[in-house]
Structure 1
Amino acid sequence: MIRIKELRNERELSQKDLALYFHVAQSTVSSWEKGVRDPDTDTVASLAAFFDVSTDYLLGKTDIRKPAGHPSIDDDDIKFALFGTTDIDDATLEDIKAYARFKREQYNKR
């Protein structure tokens, strides 16, 4: 995982922060960054989604973060898709994002 450390540092996250988010030990994140261990394919996909990059970029297979045709979704896109307006307070949006992460974790555990 050549780029985990780079992407983590861009977001100003510690290894502990990333470990907590992905429910793994800090030593696991460290081993990914050092190339000692590789995350499973589901975790690779989750890491790519978390950092908003392609799996190929995350794995160091390309220098293109996201291929054309894969638009990023920003907060206003989420607000408009759910409510038909962008006039939603940030606290509500963060609650929605937290719920979506919770549901994704439940889905991934099946």
Structure 2
Amino acid sequence: MDNLTGKILTELREKHGWSKSTVAKKLGLKAMSTYANWEYGLRKPDGEMIVKIAELYGVSTDYLLTGKDKGRPDDDLADDPDLQIAFKAASDFSEEARRQTIDFINYIREKEKQKGRQPKKRDDN
């Protein structure tokens, strides 16, 4: 049985400094062993519990199940203040202005490629 979710649960729990018992209580489980079995990969939480766990840890359900958060931008992008300003400014663009912006970004990307500069690889494939 694939235990990716169990590894992710363990990582998140340890990152928060919580014991298995603490997490089980926070999730309203009657027995700590239920949670422990998820971490060990012996059982998997149901869909409703995946949602509760995601809310508890502040992550997406995608992240719990796959280790990737498809709905979240790359951390580099999210932490770049210039890009945050640009995205905020573009948030109320018309559909035509958004299309033009995307076309311009693609144009710049192509120019960078021609100069031999490669874009950063993204690992969300």
How far off its partner does 1:63 sit? 3.0
In the alignment, which residue of structure 2 is the partner of 1:16? 21
Which of 60, 67, 74 in structure 1 is aligned with 2:72?
67
What TM-score, normalized by structure 1, do the two folds share? Answer: 0.55
Q: Distance in 2 between matches of 1:55 and 1:39?
A: 12
> For this pair of structures, how many residues does the alignment match?
68
Question: Are residues 65 and 32 of structure 1, via their aligned partners in 2, closer, same or farther at CA, if it must alter by over 3 Å?
Answer: farther
One-letter code aligned to 1:49? E
Q: Is the 8 A contact 1:48 1:55 kept in 2?
A: yes
Question: Are residues 11 and 38 of structure 1, via their aligned partners in 2, closer, same or farther at CA, if it must alter by over 3 Å?
Answer: same
Ranges in structure 1 where 5+ consecutive residues have no aligned partner: 72-110
Q: Distance in 1 between matches of 2:14 and 2:70?
A: 16
SS in structure 1 at match of 2:33: helix
One-letter code aligned to 1:36? L
Q: Is the 8 A contact 1:57 1:66 kept in 2?
A: no
Q: Distance in 1 between matches of 2:60 and 2:37?
A: 21
Matched, 1:58 2:64: yes
Q: Distance in 1 between matches of 2:49 and 2:57?
A: 12
Q: Is the 8 A contact 1:53 1:65 kept in 2?
A: no
How far off its partner does 1:66 sit? 5.4
In the alignment, which residue of structure 2 is the partner of 1:94? none
Q: Is the 8 A contact 1:32 1:39 kept in 2?
A: yes
Ranges in structure 2 where 5+ consecutive residues have no aligned partner: 79-125
In the alignment, which residue of structure 2 is the partner of 1:28? 34
One-letter code aligned to 1:12? G
One-letter code aligned to 2:37? S
SS in structure 2 at match of 1:46: helix
SS in structure 1 at match of 2:48: helix
In the alignment, which residue of structure 2 is the partner of 1:49? 55
